[in-house]
């Protein structure tokens, strides 16, 4: 093997020297003359991955380029060397026609740029084209405490680059032996050329290195490394490859056609490569092999096209976790069904509540109307007496006017009598109008109004009842109070309920009095009704505002309950005070319009 490697190295040296000699001859005048016609042949640019530098790449692939130039003289072939990132950018910019690169880089180009392999390299010394490339893990020979792969934990490992094919091949082997290089080792990426890994080992910057398979043997054959300088750990069978390797073997480098290259040119190149007859130790090209092992490597590591946030990576991730995905989809479907079901039930319950609220509102209005009718019934005798007075006066004035007209005297007296009849008729009509407005049904409607006027109208309506029962009303209501937002008839109903209850409380009491007082307080208007009756029984204080609770034999037990409901619907409050001896005060308050606006 040493002789073969020496011969291979010597041939490369000769090729490089020949190229340099041709350039020198051209420079001093022995090449084509300056006046010669310019070369107009189409240029075929072939990118070459220079993992050991441009000079070594030119020497390695010089026989292939020489064969292509000889077989296809109608084209001028140009070698473009660089790293994987440089070559990928050149493909993206449509600056290359073909590439010679490692199998991992070809996989990425095939998926991202629709590249295809025309041929695969095969060493003439016997390695199969599908077992040509791997990686070797080196350690200094004197590093005695690193013997197996698991000893690399917490060690510094040098490699060319994170995306280098050799590093990725070694990465998979390390993971299968329980060593995660990104978590359990200290990685040092030195960049191209690969000899930088050897320099890191020699300088002590790294304790282990990952290089391409057969590089160690090439360095020893070239005399740039001693046979006893490094050891290979984690060795695996190398098959027909005459090198020490630490990983499984993958297909050799392909000759790649980019998508933009014309098919006719690609066919000519492919035929030329397959008939190439190199000397011993050089590369021969065969039909392209299956690169599925490389695809499995990248998919297993989830790198390149199979990274998690790429289309292929996401697809593989979903397929790998498909059972959990089904469980999650089932849970999501159940949750969506549950959300829609709850939303449906909520809408149905809302409609039911709206119907119930509407029914309760209608019943409340009917009950409120019933209470007003009951209240008016209790006041009916007093109101009838109040109406009888203007009616009797009207009758008396009418008879007097009739007599004066029959006698034909005193026309001015008749006119005065007619005027008094009109006044009494208006008085009676006003009483009837207030009664009719109070008992008729109407939709509740809160409007801005003057509470002084509302309180005064309610007291005027109740005053005949108070006089008929010998109850003295003491009214203290200012002529102007701040405006409130309220329903006039509902507030009148509350005032009349409180006055009626106070009148019944003072029944049978000598010097019965009811004091009505209205005042503007902090952000509210307050009305209080105080009587000097017998007070509230101790056991009844907590039940006063309950529906259907009453202390009257003929009462409905709805007056105070509905009154509190009305006041609270206006944003106010109704309550009772029994702290003052010999007096009971029911009071309610309504918020001012300005306070409602602030809320």
Reported as a pLDDT band with limits 50, 70 and 90, residue 73 is very high
Structure tokens at 140: 């200094």
Distance of alpha carbon 391 from alpha carbon 370, whole angstroms: 29
135-246 CATH pick, 3.40.30.160, 3.30.60.50, 3.40.50.300, 3.40.190.10: 3.40.190.10
Distance of alpha carbon 141 from alpha carbon 364, whole angstroms: 100
Sheet holding 472-476, edge to edge: 472-476, 513-521, 524-531, 584-591, 573-577
Q: Where are the domains of the chain?
A: 2-26+39-129+255-289, 135-246, 442-599
Domains 135-246 and 442-599 share a fold: no
- Write down the pLDDT at residue 415: 76
Per-residue pLDDT for 69 more than 80?
Answer: yes
The answer to whether the beta carbons of residues 63 and 278 sit under 8 Å apart is yes
Distance of alpha carbon 127 from alpha carbon 3, whole angstroms: 17
Distance of alpha carbon 308 from alpha carbon 315, whole angstroms: 9
Distance of alpha carbon 228 from alpha carbon 9, whole angstroms: 21
| Residue-wise pLDDT tens digits, 498-555 | 888 888 888 878 888 999 999 998 889 999 999 988 777 666 666 677 766 566 655 5
Q: Hey, which of 1-5, 146-150, 416-420 has the most confident mean pLDDT?
A: 146-150
E strand residue ranges, 111-185: 116-123, 135-140, 156-159
**Terminal alpha carbon distance of the chain:** 97
Domain 2-26+39-129+255-289: CATH architecture, name and number where available: 3-Layer(aba) Sandwich (3.40)
Bond preceding residue 348 cis, omega within 30 of 0: no
Can you tell me whether residue 219 is helix, strand or coil? helix
User: What is the crossing angle of helices 54-71 and 2-28, to 10°?
Assistant: 80
Please state the pTM of the whole predicted model.
0.50
The CATH class, in words, for 442-599 is: alpha beta
- Write down the pLDDT at residue 529: 93
432 phi, psi to nearest 5 deg: -65, -40
Per-residue pLDDT for 11 more than 50?
Answer: no
Per-residue pLDDT for 175 more than 90?
Answer: yes
| Residue-wise pLDDT tens digits, 90-142 | 999 999 999 999 999 999 999 889 999 999 988 655 566 677 889 999 999 99
Opening angle at CA 360, ends 356 and 365, nearest 5: 150
Better-scored residue on pLDDT, 231 or 597: 231
Structure tokens at 82: 């660089």
């Amino acid at each position: 093997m040493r002789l073969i490697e020496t011969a291979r190295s010597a041939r490369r040296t000769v090729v490089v020297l020949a190229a340099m000699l041709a350039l020198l001859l051209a420079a001093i005048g022995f090449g084509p003359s300056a006046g010669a016609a310019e070369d107009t042949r189409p240029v075929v640019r072939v990118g070459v991955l220079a993992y050991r530098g441009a000079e070594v790449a030119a020497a390695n692939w010089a026989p292939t380029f020489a064969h292509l130039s000889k077989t296809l003289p109608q084209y001028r072939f140009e070698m473009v060397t660089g790293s994987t990132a440089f070559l990928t950018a050149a493909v993206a910019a449509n600056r290359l026609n073909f590439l010679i690169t490692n199998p991992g880089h070809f996989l990425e180009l095939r998926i991202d740029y629709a590249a295809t392999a025309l041929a695969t390299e095969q060493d003439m010394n016997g390695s199969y084209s599908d077992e040509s490339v791997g990686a070797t893990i080196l350690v200094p020979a004197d590093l005695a405490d690193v013997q197996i792969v698991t000893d690399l934990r917490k060690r510094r490992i040098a490699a060319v680059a994170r995306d280098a094919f050799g590093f990725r091949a070694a990465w998979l082997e390390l993971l299968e032996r329980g060593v995660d290089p990104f978590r359990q080792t200290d990685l040092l990426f030195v960049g191209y050329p690969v000899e930088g890994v050897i320099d890191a080992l020699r300088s002590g910057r790294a304790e282990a290195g990952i290089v391409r398979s057969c590089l160690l043997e090439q360095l020893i054959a070239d005399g740039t490394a001693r046979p006893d300088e490094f050891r290979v750990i984690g060795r695996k069978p190398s098959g027909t490859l005459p090198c020490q390797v630490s990983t499984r073997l993958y297909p050799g480098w392909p000759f790649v056609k980019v998508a933009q290259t014309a098919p006719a040119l690609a066919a000519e190149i492919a035929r030329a490569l397959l008939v190439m007859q190199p000397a011993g130790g050089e590369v021969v090209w065969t039909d392209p092999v299956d690169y599925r092992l490389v695809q499995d490597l990248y998919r297993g590591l989830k790198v390149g096209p199979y990274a998690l946030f790429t289309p292929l990576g996401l697809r593989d991730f979903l397929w790998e976790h498909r059972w959990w995905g089904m469980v999650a989809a089932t849970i999501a479907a159940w949750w969506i069904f549950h959300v829609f079901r709850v939303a449906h039930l909520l809408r149905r319950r809302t409609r039911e509540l709206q119907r119930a609220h509407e029914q309760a509102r209608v019943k409340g209005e009917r009950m409120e109307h019933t209470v007003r009718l009951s209240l008016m019934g209790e006041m009916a005798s007093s109101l009838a007496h109040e109406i009888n007075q203007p009616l009797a006066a009207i009758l008396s004035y009418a008879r007097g006017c009739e007599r004066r007209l029959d006698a034909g005297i005193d026309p001015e007296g008749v006119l005065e009598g007619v005027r008094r009849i009109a006044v009494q008729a208006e008085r009676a009509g006003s009483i009837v109008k207030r009664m009719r407005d109070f008992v008729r049904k109407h939709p509740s409607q809160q409007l801005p109004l003057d509470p002084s006027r509302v309180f005064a109208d309610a007291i005027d309506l109740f005053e005949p009842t108070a006089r008929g029962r010998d109850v003295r009303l003491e009214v203290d209501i200012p002529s102007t109070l701040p405006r409130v937002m309220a329903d006039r008839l509902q507030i009148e109903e509350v005032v009349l309920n409180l006055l009626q209850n106070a009148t019944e409380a003072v029944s049978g009491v000598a010097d019965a009095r009811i004091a009505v007082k209205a005042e503007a307080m902090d952000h509210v208007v307050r009305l209080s009704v105080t009587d000097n009756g017998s007070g509230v029984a101790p056991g009844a204080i907590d039940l006063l505002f309950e529906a259907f609770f009453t202390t009257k034999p003929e009462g409905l037990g709805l007056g105070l309950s509905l009154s509190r409901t009305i006041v609270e619907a206006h944003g106010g409050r109704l309550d009772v005070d029994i702290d003052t001896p010999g007096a009971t005060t029911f009071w309610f308050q309504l918020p001012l319009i300005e306070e409602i606006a602030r809320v």
